[in-house]
Structure 1
Amino acid sequence: MAIAEVGAVVLDCPDPRALADFYARVLGGSVEEQEDWVDVKVPGAPTLSFQAAPGYVPPQWPSPEHSQQFHLDLTVEDLDAAEKEVLALGAKPLETEDRSRTFRVYADPAGHPFCLCAC
């Protein structure tokens, strides 16, 4: 028996609404705003939440001196098609050169790393 279940994954960022809009478009979710907090709701998945962090500094990837702390793995049917779409939404490529791998690494508009992974 589990002690708990994931209620939300929360990301610090400079602009919660802008980052929530990015992930809502990537994941097909809806955005719900509260005072200092924005949620992205996707049916059947944990909530992805965003909170303002004064003085926010994005993670550096890859960097042995600075931990990335965590990243999201997003499963997609077509890596090439998904890559075009996330880049058009403002993602930045971090590690995408090796096209033989089943994943590619990007940074969201606030600098958090995430991977597109072939299913």
Structure 2
Amino acid sequence: MIKIAVDATPIRHRLSGIGMYALNLIQALHKLQGQEDFQLSLAYQPSVRKWLSRDWSFLEVLTRHLEIQNLEIKTIPLPVTLSSLLATIPNPILPYCEQAFLTGINDMVSTMDDI
């Protein structure tokens, strides 16, 4: 079975262009899950502001826009800005993050933000 992860980070209370794209992609792939042999999961990274305030309300935002049940959601514990910075400099954490959240678990990853 192929495992596909979609980055749901751009989905916000008010949908923008990229948020709408991510939402439509998730909905379309979810509909295909019954017909095709793959498993869909979602990845999410908080903004720096939400990370510092420990605001994990993303699930509420997601369920407001999606009527999808039984989706695995993986929260990447670093804000987008910090992980983007870490990706530009040599560090011991990057290989772990890539293995844990991208290639090691999923066969395909669709991302709109830098993860």
TM-score (norm: length of structure 1): 0.30
- Structure with more helix by fraction: 2
Q: RCO higher in 1 or 2 (8 Å CA, sep ≥ 6)?
A: 2
